[in-house]
Amino acid sequence: MTVSVQLDAEDRVVPALTFERTVARHLVHRRALSEVFLTDSQVFDGSSFVAGAQLPSSHAYFTDHSTPHAVDPLLLLECCRQAETHAVHAHFGADPTTKFVLESWDAELPGLTRIPPSRGPADLVIEAQTSRSHRAGEVLRAMDYRMHLSLSGSPLGKVTMRVKYVSEGVYRALRRRPDGVLPTSDDYRGALDQSGLVDPRRVGRRRAENVVLLEPTVAGRDVRARLRVAGGHPSLFDHAQDHLPGMVLMEAGRQAALLAAEELDQVRADQLTVIRFSASFHAYSELDRPVTVVARRPEDEKVRSGDTIDVLVTFEQAGRTVAETVYGAVRHDA
């Protein structure tokens, strides 16, 4: 059986997807089965693939929001990350030991404001095209992805990303430190420290364990907070990491953007839906050095673009900017 999808206004016929079970967890770099959302992936035309994922109706992290019916855009991003990771291993020949180095990703998800509240799990379809493939001989070294998303037949928008791939040996050399000490997130497991923790409601959360910002301050147009390394968090650190992963920074940035909207625009987190974001990653964020998350109004444009509130969020560590993100949120009736 086949189905038709449309990529760049061109109809393509691809194998049908199944949503009956999840893919092998090691192919999406997950340890817990509860953190695997991808159910299938089929390649066609050599450089394109279509993937399926099931969004859970209840999840301790991804559905913990003060707007309970909202579909988390970071859950959609995680599904896209899993689709990319699975495709590289299953379709494009990456060695099981290959290390993934995220350079950037962007999302435009206007459809999030139009989908009705879900009363159960929902099927996500990801139609992906690849470009700018770079290989050293037969070994894949980098690729761009453009993904179009639809949820239970309703279009959501698109996600793009640029990822590099390195061997385990090259990765070890990249992560080598002069003192020879490279901690992992397992060193930061333990009970939640409530001291200085941002009120969950201010960042769109209900559960304190999902808050990653500490000790917020406001100075002029800047909202600053310290990033909490929640090494025991079952979703943000599903397995041991030797740095702060991109998804952790995206969560911290999203929370900082919502906090800034409250502080600078007097709009509560439960009145906002994040529908777009972009991020670029310049260096590894180390676990054992403080990270300051800074949210501010973009200087080169108005905060509001129509009904959208835009917030620039940067991540500062050891005197340098390790990552930059921009979030766009629309207001709705809470």
Any idea where the domains of the chain sit in the sequence? 2-173, 179-331
Fold of the domain built from segment(s) 179-331:
Thiol Ester Dehydrase; Chain A (3.10.129)
User: Given this model, what pLDDT does residue 14 score?
Assistant: 65
SS (H, E, C) the chain: CEEEEEECCEEEEEECCCCCCCCCHHHHCCCCHHHCCEEEEEEECCCEEEEEEEECCCCCCCCCCCCCCCCCHHHHHHHHHHHHHHHHHHCCCCCCCCEEEEEEEEEECHHHHCCCCCCCCEEEEEEEEEEEEEEECCEEEEEEEEEEEEECCEEEEEEEEEEEEECHHHHHHHCCCCCCCCCCHHHHCCCCCCCCECCHHHHCCCCHHHCCEEEEEEECCEEEEEECCCCCCCCCCCCCCCCCCHHHHHHHHHHHHHHHHHHHHCCCHHHEEEEEEEEEECCCCCCCCCCEEEEECCCCCCCEECCEEEEEEEEEECCEEEEEEEEEEEECCC
Same fold, 2-173 and 179-331: yes
| Cβ neighbours for 293, distance < 8 A, ≥ 6 positions apart | 213, 224, 225, 226, 227, 252, 253, 256, 313, 314, 315
Answer yes or no: are the C-beta atoms of 53 and 124 closer than 8 Å.
yes
User: Given this model, what pLDDT does residue 119 score?
Assistant: 73
Q: Which residues of the chain have pLDDT under 50?
A: 1-2, 302-304, 334
| Positive or negative torsion for Cα 224, 226, 232, 238 | positive
| Angle separating helix axes 246-265 and 73-90, nearest 10 degrees | 160
Tokens of 111: 């459809």
User: Given this model, what pLDDT does residue 1 score?
Assistant: 38
The fourth-level CATH superfamily of domain 2-173 is Hotdog Thioesterase (3.10.129.10)
Q: Global pTM?
A: 0.94
| Positive or negative torsion for Cα 68, 253, 109, 128 | negative
Position 102: which residue type?
Answer: L
Q: Give the phi and the psi of residue 77 in degrees, each rounded to 5.
A: -65, -40
User: Given this model, what pLDDT does residue 194 score?
Assistant: 77
CA separation for the pair 110, 157 (Å, rounded): 6
The 10s digit of each residue's pLDDT in 110-132 is 999 988 877 789 999 999 999 99
